[in-house]
Structure 1
């Protein structure tokens, strides 16, 4: 299907429901051809999701009952089919989805691209025009650097959702094509530090003020190089745009690289430093006990997870060069080692209270020594390995967390077009 047949889609995310609703209403006010969908997951723990659809004079509230209450259930069994139906409705010229506070827009876009509804993905029916995140100037910094969990705020996206508010706050900002500031910071220091953090985690994303924004101007502000809903490649570039590398308001960017593996036990001990005074960690890690798998490391505030990002290109079961993105091929070529191939440590760490030098020293100490490196892979395979396929901190054991993308089927009545 060509672009001219696809209906523009705008996703709006944010942790503050009032300003997010205000922006969605501005989109709706642009004309009768705009359909606005809102998901409320407050009762998802009981398997209940409320969905509101406003299209022209129609204002419909539907209650969905899900066998497995989670974000993926909502997406796969309601949002994706709904988007297809709306895209096929002649009166609908644009769709705006106001996401629940707990929803991360990249997860939604991944589903748009990869989950089949019928015989094709929904991205063939809709064209992601913009992903917009609303930032509450008064509270975003505290949320993005704190330890509160979604459960503590009543914002869980599933019954077993253990994410922190910081993880969601950073994910929403990093995936945005445009950021919209709402309200004002309580003081000049909070305003300056919020700006310093955003410049380093989303340096190429334009910032607008909600009080003065108009929809035409907002859409015009989306940069030509914007992602527009394209899911990130875990083997792609870690730095988007050109973040300032100097410290500002105590906020710094540390890039850690190395071409020897981590000792699994020493890495497990070192990651404690990523949970205190660190805004964000993102990157790939090479762990000696699992040399054929790239680990994805991601932290925000007091929450940290380590999961598998698939095999390295040099792995026995690695993907063929022609099957990966040009960006991945280029990055792999630049660092290719005659012995280790594309295996490497690449982490970007944004700190605000921690000392970057201490973090770098701890990570360097977690790498294999020359003697350990000489022992070879057979010896590495016998190292105690605390990491499973997904690792959460703080941990009580080494079992992987439950599947985050479990799906069920809704049984709610729906009469959407």
Structure 2
């Protein structure tokens, strides 16, 4: 497989291969291994023993393959810190190593590519002799994220509420990993530039369920090319090259969206298909926090995922950021509204964001608004969601109270929690699942 350089960028390209099916991830990652490629895999199966096993597989320009394995001891019991302290310096070293034209990261199913991409671009790697203190993103660039999906069980996983710990897929040494499988599965696909769909045996395939899965994927990752892997046609270097060649020029390639970026990426279909539909909700008046807390129950059933920013009447300075997948939902602190910034702070804001804000600017409330995108998979859900959200907005009498009056509303979203090991710059204020023991 020829490795095509990105003209004008001498950073080493990185391909992330992710998914819940470890065999499919291994096959796909292996298909990208060609002369000049180094594959890196951190195996988390020995977490209970406090170990992470890292394998390096390298193919030189002559086609000779070498493999090296190293056992890492967990840094104060934290997988995130252990990987960050090992992987990020390793990427910088590989960039300088002769003969390494591309790096393939075979991710354990418990790892989320978005968090890793953020760490690569933003976590400063220091105390490396001969290297300036800098993020690994100064030396490497994410060329593609490829997600592997099993046709038979991915949608069930992506709409459920089982936690990673309950499934034995935890990325922690204890049972504290409260992420749901749905959150990880949806995050892997939504961040992907290309998809590998592992097909069921023809005798086991349900045509309706296959069509429903296709409808979900077209809306979750609309620009991602898809290759179907079957028992008779498994991933190989030719298919891997075709997959990378099909990624459009404007694909995200590791880019992290900000809370005020457009929510509909890459023009997904807006019509309903097999009961799958995107609901886009917009509002130019704030939510009553207590009624919103009740309304978001509608996002925990019949929904693949949702994401967006919320204007809460009691919190006028910053948008809240909402994300859900299956039966798990998180509401956290987003980014400040432009209307809450000083003139000096506004000068540092991206010009595109200021232009978009100007299109909807209100003389009293500025750019404050709510915007949500919800991907549903049951025909009855869209209207129920819209009705619930509209009922949570302030009524005319409440609007007349103004900001001073709104501060008296009960606010269940007011307590913030920060996880020091969380790679993503979002603060989890409240997490909900649809399991009875968490209501």
TM-score normalised by the chain length of structure 1: 0.89
Q: Which of 33, 49, 64 matches 2:72?
A: 64
Identify the residue that residue 18 of structure 1 maps to in structure 2.
23
Task: Give the Cα separation in 1 of the matches to 2:368 and 2:411.
Answer: 19
**Deviation at residue 243 of structure 1 after TM alignment:** 1.6
Structure 2 residue 206 is the aligned partner of structure 1 residue 183: no
Q: 1:42 to 1:331 in 2, by over 3 A?
A: farther
Task: Give the Cα separation in 1 of the matches to 2:195 and 2:150.
Answer: 10
CA contact (8 A) 1:45 1:156 kept: no
Q: 1:71 to 1:176 in 2, by over 3 A?
A: farther
Between stretches 372-381 and 160-169, larger displacement belongs to 372-381
Q: Please list the CA deviations of residues 259-292 of structure 1 after superposition, one character each: whole Å capped at 9, or x if unmatched.
A: 1111111111111111011111100001111111
**Deviation at residue 179 of structure 1 after TM alignment:** 0.9
Task: Give the Cα separation in 1 of the matches to 2:105 and 2:27.
Answer: 13
**Deviation at residue 176 of structure 1 after TM alignment:** 0.7
Q: Which of 281, 284, 301 matches 2:326?
A: 301
Structure 2 residue 357 is the aligned partner of structure 1 residue 324: no
Task: Give the Cα separation in 2 of the matches to 1:48 and 1:231.
Answer: 30
Identify the residue that residue 223 of structure 2 maps to in structure 1.
204
**Deviation at residue 329 of structure 1 after TM alignment:** 2.4
CA contact (8 A) 2:226 2:243 kept: no
Task: Give the Cα separation in 2 of the matches to 1:176 and 1:327.
Answer: 24
Task: Give the Cα separation in 1 of the matches to 2:290 and 2:370.
Answer: 16
**Deviation at residue 245 of structure 1 after TM alignment:** 1.5
CA contact (8 A) 2:11 2:141 kept: yes
Q: 1:335 to 1:74 in 2, by over 3 A?
A: farther
**Aligned-partner SS, 2:315:** coil
Structure 2 residue 370 is the aligned partner of structure 1 residue 367: no
Task: Give the Cα separation in 1 of the matches to 2:281 and 2:14.
Answer: 37
Q: Please list the CA deviations of residues 305-352 of structure 1 after superposition, one character each: whole Å capped at 9, or x if unmatched.
A: 000012111114698344233442232122211111111010001111
Task: Give the Cα separation in 2 of the matches to 1:254 and 1:319.
Answer: 37
**Deviation at residue 229 of structure 1 after TM alignment:** 0.8
Q: How does 1:70-149 map to 2 (within 5 A)?
A: 70-118=78-126, 119-149=133-163
Q: Please list the CA deviations of residues 233-259 of structure 1 after superposition, one character each: whole Å capped at 9, or x if unmatched.
A: 221010012222121111111111001
CA contact (8 A) 1:113 1:122 kept: yes
Q: 1:389 to 1:43 in 2, by over 3 A?
A: farther
**Deviation at residue 45 of structure 1 after TM alignment:** 5.7
Between stretches 275-284 and 46-55, larger displacement belongs to 46-55
Between stretches 17-26 and 333-342, larger displacement belongs to 333-342
Instruction: Could you tell me which runs of 5 or more consecutive residues in structure 2 were left unpaired when the two chains were aligned.
Output: 1-6, 60-64, 127-132, 425-439
Task: Give the Cα separation in 1 of the matches to 2:123 and 2:113.
Answer: 15
**Deviation at residue 382 of structure 1 after TM alignment:** 2.1
**Deviation at residue 120 of structure 1 after TM alignment:** 1.3
Q: How does 1:223-234 map to 2 (within 5 A)?
A: 223-234=248-259
Task: Give the Cα separation in 1 of the matches to 2:283 and 2:26.
Answer: 45
RCO higher in structure (CA 8 A, sep ≥6): 1
Q: Which of 271, 278, 284 matches 1:259?
A: 284
**Aligned-partner SS, 1:356:** helix
- Please list every run of at least 4 consecutive aligned residues from structure 1 whose deviation after the TM superposition is greater than 6 angstroms: none
Residues paired across the two proteins, number:
395
Identify the residue that residue 43 of structure 2 maps to in structure 1.
40
**Aligned-partner SS, 1:297:** strand
Task: Give the Cα separation in 1 of the matches to 2:342 and 2:335.
Answer: 10
TM-score normalised by the chain length of structure 2: 0.85
Structure 2 residue 170 is the aligned partner of structure 1 residue 156: yes
Task: Give the Cα separation in 2 of the matches to 1:318 and 1:240.
Answer: 30
Q: Which of 381, 384, 388 matches 1:355?
A: 381
Q: 1:162 to 1:329 in 2, by over 3 A?
A: same
Task: Give the Cα separation in 2 of the matches to 1:253 and 1:270.
Answer: 18
Q: Please list the CA deviations of residues 362-402 of structure 1 after superposition, one character each: whole Å capped at 9, or x if unmatched.
A: 11111111111111212222211111455xxxxxxxxx374
Task: Give the Cα separation in 2 of the matches to 1:139 and 1:317.
Answer: 50
